[in-house]
Structure 1
Amino acid sequence: MQIKGERAATACGLVAILLWSTASGLIRSVSEIFGPLGGAALIYSLGAIMLVMFLGRPRLRSTSSFYLIIGTALFVAYEVCLSLALGYASNSNQAIELGVVNYLWPCLTVLLAIVMNGQKARWIIVPGTVLALFGIVWVVSGNGLSLPAIMANVASNPLSYSLALACAITFALYCNVTRRYAGGQSLVGLFFIVTAALLWIKYGFSSEVLPAFTLGGGLQLLAAGIAMAGGYALWNIGIIRGNLTLLATASYSAPVLSSAFAAVWLGASLTLQFWQGAVLVTVGSLICWLATRERSASQTK
């Protein structure tokens, strides 16, 4: 897949965000059918096959050893944490909430880009990021802004919430490491293969048993595989050749899209406060985007 030009690469990244917006709901529904480990292993196995078919085998010789090791480790850690966080959620509502916690990664990506890659941004990116973070806290709080409520919510399933937080950190690191060290190469196919292998190994040591395949389950698995594989193939193009800050800030809108899709797909009923928090995340993203646009405009004068 040859993509030339920053605008085209950035467009690929934006399409990836749309695909990912369906991923959380699909991963959760697949895990309900095939189990947290078995479902995740099937998704990444199918995704790996798709990526190799459409992108070809990963080219390792032209990739630095540092990126091969660190990039793989960060990607696999993120995928395993995300799949298990959603799979081990107590119910569909909590799975959607965990998906929003995972979306701390866009603001962390911007902040790490400033530190790691010398990304320049105007000061108003700070209130935009704060507003987005507050939106996530508002979602997790559940009923008003209460620290005890937040703590109780997290304590109800500390494993899943810890995994969701780990997702945000590892993927923000992955985006910046990929931008700096990938050298224009996309190893997402390799990453999916390693992720699938690790999940199958963990599945082999678990007590899970895969149920018989049905048409409905197979179609949901196929949709999840397309969403994940297609999303990552396009996202890697975006962060390697596109506008990383624009993609990271645009990603703030994903919690709204993802939550809306998951609510419909999983039949979950979300509270007004949840949607308020999701809207705050989106508004924060628009402020961040305004900051980057203003800076670009000033540089062209």
Structure 2
Amino acid sequence: MPTFLGLTAISSWGVLALLGSLTSKIPAFQLLFICFSISAALMFIKRGAQHTALFERPTMSSPQWLIGIAGLFGFHFCYFMALRFAPAIQVSLIVYLWPLILTLFVAEKGRKKQALYGGLIGFTGVSLVISQHQGGSAFADISSDYLTGYLLAASCALIWSTYSWYLSKNTGSADNIGWLSLVVALLSLIAHFSFETPYWQFSTTEIIGALLLGLGPVGGAFYLWDIGIKQGNRSLLAISSFAAPLITAFSLVLAGISEWSFILLVALLLVVAGGFIASPVTLRAKPVIKPGQI
């Protein structure tokens, strides 16, 4: 079940672009504030439904607070800033190095080489679908003029892979995501007023889009990923993360926004092949780490 929840989070991230198309007029950090506010609200709704204390203090240590905030806010901050300094196609490609890095981080002893080969094959599939989706070559127009954007995108990959690896090595309630979301929402609001012009004339479509983003890929999915990467098959989840851009492409095709192409099929086969090579074909959960074993 935890592995399934992790795969559900990846699937949710795959429809991020589709839902994001509904909220394209909302400034990025303002939208992030809305989504993480919804994410925090999910924790209180759950506690209210279970008749537990709404404001019970979180049990996170200082490193857990620091890495959690760096992971959830740092990733999005670097991503949005990277888009200001480099083309989206190169940014997207560099950011999606994170499944490759995470695959190497969580690979079992003796499977590092297979994880590298599988990750590289999966990354090749991702590069094809990103190039197709964003209309160009991922390796075209690479220029030192975009170095700041490239470094920020690389920071995204390192931040999310490190955050996910850290989660896999720790225990703790998924409710911790709710408390982290409160902090990220506040930081996003500060970033919004620092870098953006407020936009408050929301249409019904934008309200629905923001709500769905908060419940799904930019909110609820982080709870699912927390459970999955801590208790599920980490290797399978890491390599399966390459499927998110594919899900994005297929969802846009089904929505009539993009067109089907043979490249998508090739990319799908590459990602699946990479998964078989990098991760043992099993949904067996890893042993649960008990407090004091780390």
TM-score by length of 1: 0.75
Identity of aligned residues (%): 23
Query: How far apart are residue 105 of structure 1 and its match?
Result: 1.6
Distance 1:163 1:65 in 2: 25
Q: Which moved more, 1:228-237 or 1:73-82?
A: 73-82
TM-aligned CA deviation for residue 243 of structure 1 = 1.5
The answer to which of 274-283 and 16-25 deviates more is 274-283
Equivalent in the alignment of 1:5 = none
The counterpart of 2:270, out of the listed 280, 291, 296, is 280
The CA distance in 2 between the partners of 1:36 and 1:14, in whole Å, is 26
Matched positions, count? 275
Q: Is 1:127 the counterpart of 2:117 in the alignment?
A: yes
1:260 matched to 2:244 = no
Amino acid at match of 1:168: A
How far apart, in 2, do the equivalents of 1:45 and 1:267 lie? 29
Match of 1:251 among 222, 241, 260: 241
**Displacement after TM superposition at 1:135 (Å):** 3.0
Q: How does 1:45-64 map to 2 (within 5 A)?
A: 45-54=37-46, 62-64=59-61
RMSD: 3.6
How far apart, CA to CA, are the structure 1 residues paired with 2:37 and 2:224? 18
Which residues in structure 2 correspond to 1:205-216 (within 5 Å)? 205-216=194-205
Q: What amino acid is the match of 1:67? A: Q
Task: Provide the secondary structure at the position in 2 that maps to 1:236.
Answer: helix
Contact 1:139–1:277 at 8 Å: present in 2 too?
yes
Q: Quote how far apart the aligned CAs of 1:257 are.
A: 0.6
| 1:103 Cα deviation after fit | 2.9
**Unaligned regions of 5+ residues in structure 2, if any?**
49-53, 286-294
Whether the 8 Å CA contact 1:125–1:287 is kept in 2: the answer is yes
Gaps of 5+ in 1: 1-7, 297-301
2: distance between equivalents of 1:107 and 1:129? 5
Describe the shift of the 1:82–1:47 C-alpha distance in structure 2 as closer, same or farther (beyond 3 A).
Answer: farther
After superposition, the C-alpha distances for 1:205-251 in whole angstroms (9 at most, x for unaligned) are 23412141211111111111111222111110111111111211222
Counterpart in the other structure of 2:173: 185
Cα distance in 1 for partners of 2:225, 2:14 equals: 13
Please name the residue that 1:22 is paired with. Answer: 15
After TM superposition, the structure 1 stretch with the greater mean CA deviation from structure 2, 47-56 or 12-21, is: 47-56
List aligned pairs for 1:92-171, cutoff 5 A. 94=88, 98-99=91-92, 101-114=94-107, 121=111, 123-138=113-128, 150=139, 152=141, 161-171=150-160
Which amino acid in structure 2 is aligned with residue 212 of structure 1? Q
Is the 1:81–1:167 Cα contact (8 Å) retained in structure 2? Answer: yes
8 Å contact from structure 2 (residues 99, 119) kept in 1: no
CA contact (8 A) 2:34 2:210 kept: yes
Decide whether aligned partners of structure 1 residues 62 and 36 sit closer, same or farther in structure 2, where only a CA change above 3 A counts: closer
SS at structure 1 position matched to 2:139:
helix
> 2: CA distance between counterparts of 1:266 and 1:101?
27
CA contact (8 A) 2:252 2:258 kept: yes
Give 1:203's match in structure 2, choosing from 192, 196, 201.
192
Structure 1 residues 89 and 277 mapped into 2: Cα distance closer, same or farther (>3 Å)? Answer: farther
In structure 2, relative to structure 1, the CA distance for the partners of 1:127 and 1:207 (3 Å cut) is closer
Residues 80, 70 of structure 1: alpha-carbon distance in 2 compared, 3 angstrom cutoff: same
Aligned 8 A contact 2:104 2:112 in 1: no
Asked if the contact 1:89–1:157 (Cα under 8 Å) also holds between the matched residues in 2, the reply is yes
- Which stretch of structure 1 is more off in the superposition, 183-192 or 234-243? 183-192
SS in 2 for 1:178: helix
Are 1:65 and 2:55 an aligned pair? no
The letter of the residue matching 1:38 is Q
- Kindly tell me: are residues 135 and 271 of structure 1, through their superposed partners in 2, closer, same or farther at Cα, counting changes over 3 Å? same
Report the TM-score, using the length of structure 2 for normalisation: 0.76
